[in-house]
Structure 1
Amino acid sequence: MDLIINFFHNTGFGLATYGHLIMIAVGLVFIYLGIAKHYEPLLLVPIGFGILMGNIPVFKGLGLGIYEKGSVLNYLYFGVRQGVYPPLIFLGIGAMTDFSTMLARPKLMLLGAAAQVGIFVTFLAALALGFPANEAGSIGIIGGADGPTAIFLSAKLAPHLVGPIAIAAYSYMALVPVIQPPIMYLLTTKEERLIKMSDPRPVSKREKILFPIVAFLLCCFLAPAALPL
Structure 2
Amino acid sequence: MDAVINFLNQTGFSLILDYPQTLIMLGIACFLAYLAIVKGFEPLLLLPIAFGMLLSNLPGAEMFHEALFEGGKVHWDLFGGQGDIMPGLLDFLYLGVKLGIYPCLIFLGIGAMTDFGPLLANPKSLLLGAAAQLGIFLTFVGARYLGFTPAEAGSIGIIGGADGPTAIYTTTRLAPHLLGPIAVAAYSYMALVPVIQPPIMKLLTTKEERKIQMHELRHVSKREKIVFPFVVTIFVALLVPSATPLVGTLMLGNLFRECGVVDRLSQTAQNGLINTVTIFLGICVGATATADTFLSLSTIKILIMGVTAFALGTAGGVLLAKFMNLFLKDKINPLIGSAGVSAVPMAARVSQVVGQKENPGNFLLMHAMGPNVAGVIGSAIAAGVLLALFG
TM over 0.5: yes
| Equivalent in the alignment of 2:245 | 228
Residues 205, 121 of structure 1: alpha-carbon distance in 2 compared, 3 angstrom cutoff: same
RMSD: 2.8
| Equivalent in the alignment of 2:209 | 192
- Choose 8-17 or 42-51, whichever is displaced more: 8-17
| Equivalent in the alignment of 1:64 | 63
Unaligned runs of 5+ in 1: none
Q: CA deviation at 1:128?
A: 0.3
Residues 219, 55 of structure 1: alpha-carbon distance in 2 compared, 3 angstrom cutoff: same
* TM superposition score normalised by structure 1: 0.82
The 2-side partners of 1:91 and 1:226 are apart by 14
| Equivalent in the alignment of 2:144 | 127
The 2-side partners of 1:93 and 1:52 are apart by 28
- Choose 214-223 or 3-12, whichever is displaced more: 3-12
| Equivalent in the alignment of 1:50 | 52
CA contact (8 A) 1:12 1:56 kept: yes
| Equivalent in the alignment of 1:78 | 95
Counterpart mapping for 1:55-204 below 5 A: 55-58=57-60, 63-67=62-66, 68-204=85-221
* TM superposition score normalised by structure 2: 0.51
CA deviations on 1:164-209 (whole Å, 9 max, x unpaired) are 2222222222321221122223223344334343322222222222
- Choose 30-39 or 43-52, whichever is displaced more: 30-39
Q: CA deviation at 1:211?
A: 1.4
The 1-side partners of 2:186 and 2:176 are apart by 15
Residues 200, 75 of structure 1: alpha-carbon distance in 2 compared, 3 angstrom cutoff: same
CA deviations on 1:43-78 (whole Å, 9 max, x unpaired) are 33333333333333335xxx4334355211111122
How many aligned positions are there? 226
The 2-side partners of 1:196 and 1:21 are apart by 53
- Choose 39-48 or 170-179, whichever is displaced more: 39-48
Residues 205, 129 of structure 1: alpha-carbon distance in 2 compared, 3 angstrom cutoff: same
Aligned AA (1:46):
P
The 2-side partners of 1:208 and 1:178 are apart by 33
Q: CA deviation at 1:124?
A: 0.9
Unaligned runs of 5+ in 2: 67-84, 247-391
SS in 2 for 1:58: coil
Q: Which runs of 4+ in 1 moved over 6 A?
A: 1-6
Residues 2, 137 of structure 1: alpha-carbon distance in 2 compared, 3 angstrom cutoff: same
CA deviations on 1:105-150 (whole Å, 9 max, x unpaired) are 2111122111221121111111101112222222222233332222
**% of aligned pairs identical?**
61
CA contact (8 A) 1:39 1:175 kept: yes
Aligned AA (2:58):
I
The 1-side partners of 2:44 and 2:233 are apart by 24
The 2-side partners of 1:198 and 1:25 are apart by 50
Aligned AA (2:162):
A
1:217 to 234, 258, 270: 234
- Choose 37-46 or 94-103, whichever is displaced more: 37-46
The 2-side partners of 1:154 and 1:121 are apart by 17
- Choose 32-41 or 140-149, whichever is displaced more: 32-41
